[in-house]
Structure 1
Amino acid sequence: MSVFLKYEDMWDRALGGTTDEKQIPHWFANLAYALIGFVFKICFRYRIDGRENLRAFKDKCGAVVVSNHTSFLDVVLMYMGARPSQFVRLMGRDTLFDNAGGLVGQILSRVGAFPIKRDSADRAAIKRAAHMLKGNQLVGILPEGTRRDKGSKKPEIHSGAAFIAKMGKAPIVPMCVRNAENVKRKGERLRFPKITAEYGKPIVVSDFDFLPKEDRLEGCTWYAMREVFALHQQVPREQVDMVVLFPDGRDFTAVFAEHPIPEHTPEEAIELTRPTKKPKAA
């Protein structure tokens, strides 16, 4: 049982899925799940809703899981939501991996995380993510890039989630985390609210092919994030005000009002993304 492994070795190994490639040893991820799950149940009484929308992909197809980002706990809930029968490969900022003399990087890599360079087209990270999806693994992405309402940076939507889903031939599964932002607010004491995570219906990238080619990935990620905030606010998607949420971003509300995107079951999303090849007639 190896205690320390090279980062790059773990980033290029599988964690779950159906590939025959060498796996990251599961013992640490299982131990982390047991310990963190116990603490979160005691402190936050966390609950996962709509998990069937994720479980349907197990051993059948990869999926890109996207979520809102208000706290570091969002990432933990994204990881916890997939366990115990699935793993999610979390895409994290590259500078996190060198913290504490590399100990943080060792921990993150052990549970399946891998780095991406911020504000750049990191081809190595994109290729890794697409390869994971093709091996029927889950990849977790926070398209806002940074925590909402933390610091001076305005929230924006990065279209990398749709690009990676397209490259990896995988659907996108929207997910939200509620109440994590209330654990620690600036200037206030630590709180222990009940935290809920919820998965929505999958989104198929090819449904956005009616858009001009240069707008497809941006429009798809925008739509996925609107689904995320509809789950978060517990309202119909049409009631989410994306202009308020992303004041400097492009608004696709009118486009999708005129051209509604079909809603799919996970089984339909799998078939549309990776159609089953019919045997040739004799």
Structure 2
Amino acid sequence: MKLYKLARSLVSVILYPLYRIKVVGKGNIPNEGPVIICSNHISNFDPPVVGITSPRTIHFMAKEELFEKKVLGSLLNNIHAFPIKRGMRDRNALRNGLNILSQGEVLGLFPEGSRQRTGEIGEGLTGLGFFALRSEAVVVPCAIIGPYKPGRRLKVAYGEPIDLTSFRENKSSAKEVTDYIMERIRQLYKFHQQ
């Protein structure tokens, strides 16, 4: 936890002025209890930017290859990231994510899986729906509105928590839930883009 706080402070000092970061809706993130923060994905800087703008510690998934490098892997572990195998159903990563939520922590997801350089918000992977349905977590949409250019304003908008009660009661599929959440991210993005 100490390293996370230190890294967060150092990154904040660099990125806030560099990208003139403006945060909107931070109060939509509950102060306690399990939360899934799900955001669009436009840059490799997205995880640290969401990490420094959230009032709570976030556990992110990161591609498994990053953990193969000793120093980087150790750093990622110490800042609460955990590995996921890309391109396949990774049961271990799913188990880790559910465990984080069961402990009342915050899980950060980028449902598109890879960066969307066009700025358009792509389709979400069903892992998002899986976590939302299998946990009691509050789902908070997040929109990062770029571009990442020094001196240009970067906006990070957190939307109101998404009520998934009806989806859980109706035993909706993970894809249905994912599609619904992605649409909420699109709406948030469009609203704050203006």
TM-score (norm 2): 0.89
Partner of 2:59: 89
- Contact conserved, 1:131 with 1:168, CA < 8 A, in 2? no
> Displacement of 1:228 after TM fit?
1.0
- Which structure features the higher share of strand residues? 2
Q: Separation in 2 of the partners of 1:39 and 1:50? A: 22
The SS at the match of 1:65 is strand
Q: Separation in 1 of the partners of 2:159 and 2:177? A: 15
Match of 2:144 among 170, 177, 182: 177
Q: Separation in 2 of the partners of 1:140 and 1:33? A: 15
> Displacement of 1:28 after TM fit?
0.9
Q: Separation in 2 of the partners of 1:66 and 1:123? A: 20
Q: Separation in 2 of the partners of 1:90 and 1:209? A: 24
> Displacement of 1:209 after TM fit?
4.8
Larger Cα-atom Rg: 1
Partner of 1:229: 186
The SS at the match of 1:157 is coil
Partner of 1:125: 93
Q: Separation in 1 of the partners of 2:165 and 2:48? A: 30
Partner of 1:203: 162
> Displacement of 1:182 after TM fit?
4.1
Structure 1 letter corresponding to 2:173: R
- Contact conserved, 1:178 with 1:195, CA < 8 A, in 2? yes
Partner of 1:280: none
Matched, 1:113 2:86: no
Partner of 1:217: 174
Q: Separation in 2 of the partners of 1:89 and 1:141? A: 9
Partner of 2:50: 78
Give CA-to-partner distance per residue, 1:102-126, whole Å, 9 cap, x none. Answer: 2221222211111111121111111
- Contact conserved, 2:43 with 2:117, CA < 8 A, in 1? no
> Displacement of 1:155 after TM fit?
4.2
> Displacement of 1:173 after TM fit?
0.9
> Displacement of 1:165 after TM fit?
2.1
> Displacement of 1:204 after TM fit?
3.1
Partner of 1:33: 8
Partner of 1:163: 130
Percentage of matched positions with identical amino acids: 25
Structure 1 letter corresponding to 2:103: G
> Displacement of 1:201 after TM fit?
1.3
Partner of 1:145: 113
Structure 2 letter corresponding to 1:163: F
| Structure having greater relative contact order (Cα 8 Å, sep ≥ 6) | 2
- Contact conserved, 2:37 with 2:141, CA < 8 A, in 1? yes
Matched, 1:43 2:3: no
Aligned length: 190
Q: Separation in 2 of the partners of 1:198 and 1:161? A: 19
Of 70-79 and 136-145, more deviation after overlay is shown by 70-79
Change (3 A) 1:192 1:94: farther
- Contact conserved, 1:148 with 1:155, CA < 8 A, in 2? yes
TM-score (norm 1): 0.63
Match of 2:41 among 47, 69, 90: 69
> Displacement of 1:210 after TM fit?
7.3
Q: Separation in 1 of the partners of 2:185 and 2:46? A: 13
Q: Separation in 1 of the partners of 2:135 and 2:186? A: 25
